[in-house]
Structure 1
Amino acid sequence: MGKVLVENIRIYAHHGCLPEETIIGCQYSVDVSVKTDLSKASLSDDLVDTVDYVHINKIVKEEMAVPSKLLEHVGKRILDRIFSEIPMVKKTAVSVSKLNPPINGDVEKVTIVLKSSR
């Protein structure tokens, strides 16, 4: 078993419950971790034997472009697509962080983390 990490995918998106959040938008950071068998890829040196992190980045960018009220909702869509489109993934974790959230306080970010397995 092995792990592929795609970390700190920076995206400007329009998520939130407040109307101004969906109009103005803000900066987000997404981390994805997938567990899979990497033994074949470690021997073959062939992209078809591993999880292509370009594909993961594409899924994240496309799902983050669809506005949601809740970060949990967009995170679940990312998880679902990873399992749907990348059959060799056994487990995955996705964290979605809203940077400088519009809350009454000096907060760097708020983050949700979702995990799932086949």
Structure 2
Amino acid sequence: MVSQIELKDMKFYAYHGVSPQETKVGNTFVVNLILTAPLEKAVISDDLHDTINYAEIFGAVKQEMDIPSKLLEHVAGRIMNALKVKFPQLQEIRLKLSKLNPPFGGNLHSASIILKETF
């Protein structure tokens, strides 16, 4: 059995960007996660201790989103590392971090970075 947790469309207002305007004004960012972990015990036990608490995942992502960075790649990498440390039972992380309406003069919904790591 493959067990995955998906947290979809977590929205954060943060101050990531290369230009001084972005770090001053901020923007809306969206994080999507798919986490693979051995959760078979929780399927049977119905016990929170046998799974990964979704609120704790959200909290770990929020903590990293609150730290300004120039690059989406840097923020995404920090999130990945924080999740690996906090949840050592993870076997794979798939993360998509998107900046909505990036300020470079074009009609664009979002710019995104996607990272995937298997351990």
Give the Cα–Cα distance (whole angstroms) in 1 for the partners of residues 34 and 53 of structure 2. Answer: 12
Could you tell me whether the CA contact under 8 Å between 1:51 and 1:89 is conserved in 2? no
Gaps of 5+ in 2: none
The one-letter code matched in structure 2 to 1:112 is I
How many residues align? The count is: 118
Partner of 2:80: 79
Could you tell me whether the CA contact under 8 Å between 1:9 and 1:29 is conserved in 2? yes
Partner of 1:21: 22
Give the Å deviation of 1:32: 1.1
Give the Cα–Cα distance (whole angstroms) in 2 for the partners of residues 89 and 54 of structure 1. Answer: 16
Gaps of 5+ in 1: none
Give the Cα–Cα distance (whole angstroms) in 1 for the partners of residues 118 and 55 of structure 2. Answer: 21
Q: Secondary structure at the match of 1:28?
A: strand
TM-score by length of 2: 0.96
Percent identity, please: 38
The residue correspondences of 1:43-82 to structure 2 (distance < 5 A) are 43-82=44-83
Give the Cα–Cα distance (whole angstroms) in 2 for the partners of residues 38 and 62 of structure 1. Answer: 25
TM-score by length of 1: 0.97
Partner of 1:117: 118
Deviations 1:70-97 (A, max 9, x none): 0000000000011101111110011110
Question: CA-atom RMSD, angstroms?
Answer: 0.7
Partner of 1:34: 35
Give the Cα–Cα distance (whole angstroms) in 2 for the partners of residues 54 and 88 of structure 1. Answer: 16
Partner of 1:98: 99
Give the Cα–Cα distance (whole angstroms) in 2 for the partners of residues 21 and 116 of structure 1. Answer: 29
Give the Cα–Cα distance (whole angstroms) in 1 for the partners of residues 16 and 65 of structure 2. Answer: 8
Runs of 4+ in 1 over 3 A off after TM superposition: none
Q: Secondary structure at the match of 1:40?
A: helix
Q: Secondary structure at the match of 1:106?
A: coil
Give the Cα–Cα distance (whole angstroms) in 1 for the partners of residues 62 and 14 of structure 2. Answer: 9
